[in-house]
Amino acid sequence: MEFTYRGKSLEELQKMDIKEFVKLLPARQRRTILRGLFERNKPLLLKIKKAKSGQYKKPIRTHLRDFIVIPEMVGLTIHIHNGRSFNQVLIKEDMVGHYLGEFTITRVKIEHSAPGIGATKSSTAIATKAK
């Protein structure tokens, strides 16, 4: 089954100008882009274009969790900051139109255990790694 986004194939989306692509997005994402998301974050866009052409070899790292996945990003691996570390995310077709922050968890699960002798109440919470 071939991927389509609002009736357009991935090839058609990648050939579109960003202004045409914005018209296909939901209202919140459309408003975010029209208010200048890409103008403020040009370094990330430049890294994406260079990585697609093969000029940028380092991993793309970003703190921009509010950046919207555009068709040019499909196939790239982007390291997204979750507040403590960078999580590696492979951008797939289904992610187009979503925010980058949706694909990396910011909170860790807390498990409680029995406190040791002379322990304080707060030492019963143990943070575990998110899976």
pLDDT at 71 exceeding the cut of 90:
yes
pLDDT at 131 exceeding the cut of 60:
no
pLDDT of amino acid 130: 59
Average confidence (pLDDT) over 75-99 = 95
The stretches of the chain forming alpha helices (DSSP H) are 10-15, 18-22, 27-34, 37-40, 42-53
Q: Please, are residues 96 and 74 in contact by the beta-carbon 8 Å criterion?
A: yes
Mean per-residue pLDDT over the chain, rounded: 88
Give the global pTM: 0.81
Distance between CA atoms of residues 88 and 78, nearest Å: 6
Nearest to residue 14, comparing CAs of 95, 72, 76? 72
Helix (H) or strand (E) holding 62: strand 60-62
Amino acid identity, position 12: E
| Tokens (6 digits) for 83 | 């507040």
Amino acid identity, position 118: G
Looking at residue 84, the DSSP 8-state letter turns out to be S
Amino acid identity, position 62: T
pLDDT of amino acid 125: 66
Q: Please, are residues 2 and 85 in contact by the beta-carbon 8 Å criterion?
A: no
pLDDT at 127 exceeding the cut of 60:
yes
Domains of the chain: 4-127 (3.30.860.10)
